[in-house]
Amino acid sequence: MGDIPGKGCGACNLCCKILVIDHFQKDAGILCSNCVLGVGCKIYLKRPEVCQDFECDWKMERSIGANLRPDKVGTILMEDDESGEYQAVVDPSTPFAWRNPQMFKFLVMKAKEGRTVVAKSGLKSWRIYPSGEIGVWAG
């Protein structure tokens, strides 16, 4: 899939902070040592496969507006191929960023489409239901 105009990472590097990257023994919530804030990855062309394979749904989906760009709402949207969940992953230091009104509306819409929608912050998870109700999620 080619790049979508207006959907480049630019200065966003939220994935470099909030995702676990075993290759670098990097925990969630800690900025990757290869990331330069506001600039990006200093080893981008030689980054490990796990980083190359990551797909941020904001970047990949035309239908997700600029208002939901990860660095603007503190939330990364992603598919979990193993569980089939649609996930909203946030920095543990801002565990309820997914409750941003625009983001929450989007997550409820995904749930109404029949998706299992889960917000994750560190080891905590919440399920978002089509009704807009929220429940603690054990997966």
Residue 6 in domain? no
Order of strands, sheet of 86-90, starting from the edge strand that comes earlier in the sequence:
75-79, 86-90, 117-121, 124-128, 134-136
Residue 53 in domain? yes
Residue 56 in domain? yes
Q: For residue range 91-122, list pLDDT tens digits in order.
A: 888 999 999 999 999 999 999 999 999 999 98
At 107, which helix (H) or strand (E)? helix 101-112
Q: For residue range 118-139, list pLDDT tens digits in order.
A: 999 988 999 999 999 999 987 6
Residue 116 in domain? yes
Q: For residues 98 and 68, give the distance between their C-alpha atoms in angstroms, rounded to a whole number.
A: 10
Q: Are 120 and 130 in contact (CB under 8 A)?
A: no
Whole domain around residue 92: which residue ranges?
15-136
Residue 1 in domain? no
Q: For the chain, how many structural domains are there in total?
A: 1
